[in-house]
Chains A and B, each alone.
Chain A
Amino acid sequence: MTLHKAAEQRDIIDSPEETAHLARTWYSPRGFPGWFTQVNQRMIGKRFIITAFIFFLLAGILGLLMRLQLAAPEQQLLGPELYNQFFTMHGTVMMFFFAIPVMEGVAIYIVPLMVGTRDMAFPRLNAFGYYVYLIGGIVLFGSLLLGMAPNAGWFNYVPLAGKLYSPGYGVDVWTTMITFIEVSALTAAVELIVTILRMRAPGMSLNRMPLFVWAALVMSFMIVFAMPAVIVSSTLLILDRLVDTQFFIVESGGEPLLWQHLFWYFGHPEVYIILVPALGMISTIIITFTGRPIFGYTALVLSVVAIGFVSFGLWVHHMFTTGLPQLGMSFFTAASAMIAIPSGVQIFCWIASLWGAKIRFHTPMLWVLGFFAIFVIGGLTGVMVASIPFDTQVHDTFFVVAHFHYVLIGGAVFPLIGAVYYWWPKIIGRMMNETAGKWSFWLAFIGFNITFFPMHQLGLEGMPRRIYTYADEMGWGDLNMLATIGALVLAVGFGITLVNAIWSVSRGRPAGTNPWNAPTLEWATESPPASYNFRHIPVVESRWPLWDWQRQDERRVVTGLRNDRREVVLTSVLDASPVGVQVLPGPSIWPFASAVAASTGFIGIIFHPIFFVIGFFLVFFSLVAWFWPRRPWRND
């Protein structure tokens, strides 16, 4: 394999037969049976994104129903049982089945394109992760339709989630499906880490990596360190429930606080796992729409890395009222306040980059500007709740509900929707409608603030979370009505984007290769990209390769990759100098079969122990088939 100037060799390499051959090699089977065998990263990424947005829609509807129930005091729309199931499902689905998978989905789709390669490092594992996620989500939502949904809250505290106080299958389903989603997240994280560290285009050294790729890398490492804690805790809980172990049973010396430590050791980084990729999206969009390099690349990278580290030292601030010793908890106050510094550095690096720029106010940029207003408020209330005495007043009240919706919707969903507008043309090949996009933004921005700002006041006025009703005389009626009206406006805002996205698939203006004049590699290939992503793997010489190429006539590419099998370039971790060629596997039914086999076992044991044995053998056989040696080198 050698590096060539493309101009010299274009005629030879780009012969139509060669290109067609390459397309066949990377072809994804179509049709119904084909759907279960696809492994290409763009297929899997798109599925993650679409599936996650369907869950967002469903959980959003649950949220709206809860808002309608709380709109006025003593409403009769939902009874306590249903309301409790709804808020449990709303939180669980939003956190586990929407936020993490959608961020992973965007990363799976975009990162290989951004780093200039043709697929993820382990395509079949990627497919397996998706099927596990899909099955987990369907089973969890199915439990709601069957009326046996979990109802112990999204953080599922024991002993309430124990067998004694939550009999029935609800919490079993919750616990098992959480493990599913964590397995799916771990597979995606491992994929992303390896892809980012070893498969970048030649020349894309670490300090030239796009900021979104940095964010995806930090997110992935956080997933690797955070998710095992919740897998352990939910495994301990399911053992308590199914085979009568006593990890959380107080009477036998078990410890409910153990659950809280394990859960929040995962649960707090979880919030940043959702936030960090959004920060990468913001940097990406700002660079493109200001049309110039960002200020403080290094500071932004270090801030994201710092947030990743510090987020593992904050979990006790969810437990300030549990009676832990004051001095110990004080460290967590300090650590929580410390997050303000990397956040502040990022915000002001962005402001410095925006300062005096000729900003193009397209829809993606609007969502990013909306982020600033909302996230600053959410960050400041976050500092407030880091104070132990203040937290004892607002913990588990609507103040906290307001706080984390400001952080999660403002901090993650707004940039995410901006990113959807930004990358949709690449994914679909057509532009979304700008006018509808701006309407969508303004309605969502206004609706969001009307919904969640009054909740700060409600919390201070003593309204606890997770109550299905309240008496008229508590005086919470007016603000709740306002919040519900805001929620409807917010829903219309998001709804416009949904319609816009669907509309654009067939009606949108064709996007072309690089509609936003962006500088990163995903815009160097057609929209939507061909099955092989890049006709030639590019060679990168700065942080802004596409802007370089506009200035200079010729661009360097990698040649020498074979067309008859799925070859990608491996590069070194730091400098991305080429070190080898890796052959990737093609389409296969076995990831799907393995996911079904594993699900049969895990879901089955809720109902009968024999499924453990059945699942074991099914997984064994499907994995044997999956890993049955192929000899890609046979033809050499």
Chain B
Amino acid sequence: MIPGTRSRAIVILGAGIATLLSGCSGSQSALNPAGSAADLIARLWWPTLVVASLVTMLVLALLLVAIFRAHKKGAALPLSARQSRNLVIACGIILPLAATIPFALSSFSIGREIDAPLPDGALTVEVVGKLWWWEVHYLDETGGRIATTANEIHIPVNEPVRFLLKSDNVIHSFWVPNLQGKTDMMPGRTNVTSVTANQPGIYRGQCAEYCGTQHALMAFLLVAEEPEAFEAWLEGQRQPAMEPATAQEMLGREVFLNEDCADCHAIRGTSAEGQDGPDLTHIASRRTLAAATTPNRIGHLGGWITDPQHIKPGNQMPSTELSPANLQALLSYLGSLE
């Protein structure tokens, strides 16, 4: 990689995330819980930290006493065999048992609580790990897909949501630290986890199992919103793409369908049905591009289409050569897909 080209990528990356997360510090932190599971785990963590600190201090204090006891005296001051035995039994056996048994028990009970079965009618979202982005399907009660999007998941706040986690390539791991611990996406299996957000907000999730070249830039946003807002959003996502309203947008759609774009991307309501890349039916409604790597603005989108390897080296999207007019048209078309 030539340094000059990467520097541009990095500037875009930096600027992008800056605007995304400004005023949103701690949006990817296990210490800042906003979901039921993360909250339970944080409540396990803090007492554990206190006990662990006390144990560390106790051991080190005993060690210091042990080694400095005879330091200034003329003679050694050893423990008797009986005292030594009592020390080993009290601190080497009873102390670890006293510390780990309550810890293990509360860990089991928290684990059961997190894993409790969901109500039957819970909203179900299927997330498929891709190289290196996230495909998101909303399912109806029968498991049929009612809407498809990518890299941005909306859920209603205060409602447990079932996530079906899959992968059709390598292993990924689905993790939103503020809401829930991670669950791997194993090829050939469907892992299930539930997420309950207790506060509305935009939380960042990131792939937590090393999955190849761009593991570092495989993130997503999870938007927890009020149920009404969520319903409205989902209704919007169910619709096919909007028809072009202007000649410019009409041209943009032609460009999309005639260039290579449609080989990999789908826009529902058009003849574009590619399955390799993210579904772009409502791309303009999303906050980010390239798996939460850059903000979704027209300039970034243009940069991403013409030279995606600068922004995310090694990703699977090829560069597309377009005349300036065609690029402008394509951008206005994609920008209209609310």
Contacts from A to B (Cβ < 8 Å): 73-74, 76, 79-81, 84, 152-153, 157, 159-160, 165, 250, 255-257, 292, 295-296, 299, 321-323, 326, 330, 333-334, 337-338, 340-341, 343-349, 351-359, 369, 372-373, 376-377, 380-381, 383-384, 386-397, 460-462, 464-475
Contacts and interface: CB of A to CB of B under 8 A. Distances in A.
A580 B20 CA distance: 78
Contact of A460 (B30, B67, B78, B207): B30
Interface centre among B16, B99, B210 (most CB of A within 10 A): B210
9 contacts: A159-B170, A255-B188, A352-B83, A356-B76, A373-B60, A380-B56, A460-B30, A462-B29, A465-B210
Contacts of A394: 30
Nearest to A395: B182
Nearest to B115: A326
B84 A295 contact: yes
Interface centre among A152, A257, A340, A356 (most CB of B within 10 A): A356
Q: Which are the 6 A-B pairs with shortest beta-carbon distances?
A: A392-B181, A356-B77, A467-B216, A462-B28, A323-B191, A348-B92
B232 interface: no
A460 B22 CA distance: 20
B234 to A, nearest CB: 27
A387 B103 contact: yes
A94 B154 CA distance: 43
B92 A473 contact: no
Contacts of A352: 66, 79, 83-84, 87-88
Contacts of A396: 173, 182, 208-210
B17 A471 contact: yes
A74 B14 contact: yes
Interface string B125-139: 000000000000000
Contacts of A340: 96, 99-100
A607 B107 CA distance: 50
Contact of A344 (B28, B93, B191): B93
A165 B211 CA distance: 9
A372 B17 CA distance: 42
B41 A159 contact: no
B59 A372 contact: yes
Contacts of A471: 13-14, 16-18, 21
B298 interface: no
Interface centre among A348, A349, A377 (most CB of B within 10 A): A348
A344 B96 contact: yes
B184 A321 contact: yes
Contact of B18 (A250, A397, A473): A473
Contacts of A152: 210
Contacts of B3: 76
Interface string B90-120: 0111011101110110011011101100000
Nearest to A355: B66
A107 to B, nearest CB: 26
A381 B45 CA distance: 11
A351 B188 contact: no
A473 B288 CA distance: 15
Interface string B186-216: 1111011000000000001011111111111
B171 A256 contact: yes
Interface in B1-30: 1, 3, 6-7, 10, 13-14, 16-18, 20-22, 24-26, 28-30
Nearest to A295: B84
A462 B25 CA distance: 12
Contacts of A333: 104, 107-108
Q: Is the interface of A mostly helix, strand, loop or mixed?
A: helix
Given A344-B91, A356-B76, A392-B41, 18 more contacts: A79-B313, A84-B215, A321-B184, A321-B209, A337-B100, A340-B96, A341-B96, A345-B88, A345-B93, A347-B92, A357-B76, A373-B63, A377-B56, A392-B182, A462-B28, A462-B177, A462-B204, A473-B14
A392 B33 CA distance: 14
Nearest to A465: B210
Contacts of B223: none
B123 interface: no
B146 to A, nearest CB: 25
B84 A356 contact: no
B38 A160 contact: no
Nearest to A456: B49
B239 interface: no
A473 B66 contact: no
A351 B89 CA distance: 12
Contacts of A160: 170-171, 210-212
A80 B216 contact: yes
Interface centre among B7, B69, B101, B192 (most CB of A within 10 A): B69
A334 B210 contact: no
B169 interface: yes
Interface string B54-91: 01100110110111011100011111010111011001
Interface centre among B1, B77, B181, B207 (most CB of A within 10 A): B181
B61 to A, nearest CB: 10
A543 B180 CA distance: 54
A473 B22 contact: yes
B40 interface: yes
A483 B95 CA distance: 32
Nearest to A365: B67
B314 interface: yes
A223 B160 CA distance: 47
B76 A76 contact: no
B188 to A, nearest CB: 4
Nearest to B28: A462
Given A341-B92, A397-B208, A330 B111 contact: yes
A388 B115 CA distance: 11
B31 interface: yes
Contacts of A355: 65-66, 69, 77-79, 84, 87
Contact of B186 (A80, A323, A330, A380): A323
A228 B63 CA distance: 40
A397 to B, nearest CB: 7
B184 A323 contact: yes
Contacts of A380: 52, 55-56
A17 B171 CA distance: 69
A387 B216 CA distance: 26
Interface centre among A160, A255, A343, A464 (most CB of B within 10 A): A464
B183 A323 contact: yes
A353 B62 CA distance: 12
Contacts of A257: 186
Contact of B206 (A256, A299, A464): A464
Contact of B92 (A80, A345, A381, A466): A345
B78 A356 contact: yes
Nearest to A474: B28
Contacts of A461: 26, 28-31
Contacts of B60: 372-373, 376
A76 B10 contact: yes
Contacts of A359: 67, 70-71
A376 B55 contact: yes
Contacts of B75: 358
Contacts of B108: 330, 333
B215 A466 contact: yes
B76 A389 contact: no
Contacts of B101: 337
B258 interface: no
Contacts of B63: 351, 354, 369, 372-373
Nearest to B293: A471
Contacts of A153: 210
Nearest to A388: B111
Contact of A347 (B40, B59, B169, B170): B59
Nearest to B113: A389
Contact of B41 (A79, A321, A334, A389): A389
A372 B62 CA distance: 11
Interface centre among A152, A160, A352, A468 (most CB of B within 10 A): A352
A464 B208 contact: yes
B275 interface: no
